[in-house]
Structure 1
Amino acid sequence: MRTDQRYQEGQFTVSRFRAMGCACQIVGVTGDDPEASVRLASAEALVRVVEKTLSRFDPESELSRLNNRAGQWVQVSPLLWSALDHALSSARATHGIYDPTVLGALKAWGYNRSFEEVQATPIWVEEVSSPPGRWQDVRTDPATRSVFLPPGVGIDLGGIAKGWTADILCHALADMGPVLADLGGDICALGVPPGHKAWPVAVANPFQPEADVALLAVANAGVATSGVDFRRWATPKGLAHHIIDPRTGKPAETDVFTATVVAPSGLQADLFALVCVLLGTEQALAMLSRMEGMEGLLITKDGRILWSRGLERYLIEVYGTKGGGA
């Protein structure tokens, strides 16, 4: 997933940086607003605050400190509380297909440090000490903004954090005019940029990363891609990837290579792109057909490109296809 790279100058102000383990871009339609660069710099700073709070790879992050105190009630900051609340609500909305308590399984399969480190060092696989599927056991107290994780349970927010953060950025900058926040391909797009009917967003070809399979037009919506194409590594038990199926505690066995979802928000796009991968092609397309305002494009492991019928209103072009609308 990538946004149009031609937002360079003139009425666009662009901030590009790395955070949350990925390339990020914030684009504002600002004209000659002298405060635009300052506002976008503040938005970048906000991303770094979110990363510092929610990163499971930083032992000093607030999330890491919460995970280390499983078995105790812990009062958390408003930022972490909001992220956890959205994560638990997402688990309820998907009947546990998305589960933020898969941290133990992720670590057991070798994803216990940043992906760059995972790639650079040998991987081992451990027995999962506490199976996932424990999101319903997480207790919260809104009155004191406190959280209780059962012993052995840890939280990973990777399934929604970037889409959720993109939403926060767009709404914080909405008074500037049209704005797009792209955090590693998890996107929130508000308004319409001048000269366009919507924000153009390309869907990358997972088999040829420098090529695209489709071009979408997105406005006042979120769009995100999830897949098993990138974060993969070899283990003594075979090839593993970062999408854990909470029903098994193992990397998901799925025919979906990547799933791209357009939804009313960045968080929903991020969430349901992940759910599409976990469900597989048949169930994912059936789910999308039932959900108002949610459309998707799936690329299967054998190279087929399939999309929900309603996606056609967002499609500008598909670059060669084996498949079609479903």
Structure 2
Amino acid sequence: MLDQQNLRRQPPVLPQPPLLPQLPVLPHPSPVPALPDYATPRGMRREEFRAMGTTISMLLPESLIEMGAQLVRTLFAEWEQTLSRFLPESELSQLNQHPGTPVAVSDLLYTVLATALTAAQATDGVYDPALLDQLVQLGYDRTFDELPAVVFDPIIPGEPGGRWRGIKVDPIRRHVTLPAAIKLDFGGIAKGMAVDAALAKLHYNEIYPAMVNAGGDLAVLGLPPDAEQWPIAVPGWKQFWTLPLLSGAVATSGIAHRQWWQGNTLRHHLLDPRTGQPAQSDLWSVTVVADRCEQAEVAAKVAFILGSRAGAGFLRKHHIAGLLVRTDGTWETVEPWPANFMEEGSI
């Protein structure tokens, strides 16, 4: 699945709560965008809205903006209503509430689950879609927009993942049975798949060129007018670069944005399934280029969790281009990274 041949902000410095004096500020301040960004090409318009816990941006031809934007908004609304862990009435939430019982699911939920399980198998479980309980134990029990700077939930030692292997699926009846004591959270892979689905819908309706970006997971369709590539701003430590993207997708995974305090312990959302805790990585961010957004999102997350050495090895093994930025400011690329990747600014 991961083989391509077969296949902004400054991080917040959280305020120190009165009851917890002398907490350190968040590490690794970066003044450059933490997510891929882009300019608006001539003849195109940019639209934004909120869905799936993030900002969805799109670039579409001006003459087709109303129709195209409505298609994308409708698709993301459907995906959120089906897959959000934050909506009690969502299909995913209902599935999570019935462990041990075969549950009939929609084609959408089944497809996302099947893709997530394939990714888990292909990455030896470094990608794990069944870590919701561990995230909740860390205090991430609501949308990140609603999450306070400091949560005071008791710290419970995280349990390692791997329980996704016990999920039973019936592809004929579209039934899913979750083992006891696990809950699913598709997170980034669902956003990546939604981006891919949005571009497929735009293509079917002959609305292109187009770009759709779901909080840093983006993909393109065609090329912008009078241009030979899409200029994508990729974050570094204290600099940013322009990545010339001809086709495919880009995803960035890192700790620039989603960090919070649990008591006096700093947390982030990228969990290592081997420990059930936030990954202790030497990386600040990983940016990956792949054929599809879902592929790029999974690969970036796995490489981040593995750390710079093993993460680079993982990308090479699967022939995936990537940029790995370490917390000390050094960085390396994994081929086939574009040769005309240019540094645009430094601090």
State the TM-score, normalizing by the size of structure 2.
0.84
1-structure distance, mates of 2:245, 2:304: 22
Alignment of 1:249 onto 2:276 = yes
Give the letter for the 1:188 counterpart. Answer: A
Percent sequence identity over matched residues?
36
Assess if the C-alpha contact under 8 Å between 1:216 and 1:317 holds in 2.
Answer: no
> Size of the alignment, in residue pairs?
311
Conserved in 1, the CA contact under 8 Å of 2:71 and 2:202? Answer: no
- 1:20 equivalent among 45, 52, 64: 52
Q: Which runs of 5+ in 2 are unaligned?
A: 1-34
Sort the Cα spacing of 1:196 and 1:189 in 2 relative to 1 into closer, same or farther, 3 A.
same
How far off is 1:39 after superposition?
A: 2.8
Q: Aligned AA for 1:254? A: S
Residue 32 to residue 230, structure 1, CA distance change in 2 (3 Å): closer
Give the distance between the partners of 1:271 and 1:129, measured in 2 at CA: 22
Aligned residue type for 1:142:
P
Equivalences for 1:159-178 in 2 at 5 Å?
A: 159-174=188-203, 175-178=206-209
Q: One-letter code of the match for 2:174?
A: R
The answer to whether the aligner puts 1:308 opposite 2:334 as a matched pair is yes
Change in 2 beyond 3 A, CA 1:284/1:151: same
Q: CA deviation at 1:67?
A: 0.5
Measure how far apart 1:5 and its partner are: 3.2
Superposition map of 1:132-171 within 5 A: 132-171=161-200
Please name the residue that 1:285 is paired with. Answer: 312
2:97 counterpart (63, 68, 86): 68
Tell which has more relative contact order, 1 or 2 (C-alpha 8 A, sep 6+). Answer: 2
- 2:29 aligns with none
2-side partners of 1:129 and 1:262: how far apart? 32
Q: TM-score, normalized by length of structure 1?
A: 0.89
Alignment RMSD, CA only?
Answer: 2.0
**Shift in Å, 1:317:** 3.4
Q: Distance in 2 between matches of 1:125 and 1:303?
A: 34
What is the correspondence of 1:154-303 to structure 2 with a 5 Å cutoff?
154-174=183-203, 175-205=206-236, 213-236=240-263, 238-292=265-319, 294-303=320-329
Q: Is the 8 A contact 1:15 1:41 kept in 2?
A: no
1:184-213 per-position Cα deviation (integer Å, ceiling 9, x unaligned) = 111011211122211111013456xxxx51
1:244, distance to aligned residue in structure 2 (A):
0.8
Which amino acid is 1:283 matched to? A
User: Partner letter of residue 193 of structure 1?
Assistant: P
Q: Pick the aligned partner of 2:135 from 76, 99, 106.
A: 106
How far did residue 313 of structure 1 move? 3.5
Superposed CA deviations along residues 219-238 of structure 1, whole A, max 9, x for unmatched, are 22110101122111112462
Letter of the 1:276 counterpart: A
Read off the aligned partner of 1:257 and give its amino acid letter.
W
Query: Does the Cα contact within 8 Å between 1:223 and 1:261 map onto a contact in 2?
Result: yes
- The alpha-carbon deviation at position 177 of structure 1 amounts to 2.5
